[in-house]
Structure 1
Amino acid sequence: MQNNFTIRPNLIITCLALLLGGCASDPAPAPILSGEQMLSESQGIANLGDRWKKGKQLVERGNVLVREGQNKIAEGNRLIEEGEKAKLESEESYKNIKK
């Protein structure tokens, strides 16, 4: 029974020592990139930026076209309404003439 109690404190002390040792050690050095790797990565990032800008321009152009389309639809509906009114008035006038 006594042996069981001595194993647990030793195990706890060992785990604490390993934990503290791991935290206190220097971090692994970052891999060194070659100039060609840095150039390749920066070009890739620049391409992403250019693609994003083009996407933003397309969204803005699309929004302009949608607004213009909505204005044309509103104008078309107004013309239809005006035309229907003119037709109805003409039909009513024709009926009155025939009476």
Structure 2
Amino acid sequence: MNEQEQLVIMQLIMAGGNAKGSSFEAIKAAKVGDFSTAEAKLKEADSFLSDAHNAQTGMLTEEAQGKKHPVSLLMVHGQDHVMNAITFRDLAREIVDLYKKLATK
């Protein structure tokens, strides 16, 4: 694995971790009724996930053009971070929506 591949993997790990953190902050904000902050944090999570998606797309494009990338434990770890962050963001969106409904009753 070369330095560029390691950099992309670290971007995946960081973006996934940041997205999950922002999603958790959205839940905490919604819990106390701060829905504008909750929405801002969900948008922030989406932005981090977009960064991860862009990093993945670059590697997929290279793969489609014939440049092979080794599948290492570090690569699997990076992809795992992104997938967990996507799931967590989706659940955070649902939880924020539930808190909004509870606040209007």
Greater Rg over alpha carbons, structure: 1
TM-score range relative to shorter protein: 0.3 to 0.5
Query: Which protein has greater RCO, CA pairs closer than 8 Å, 6+ apart?
Result: 2
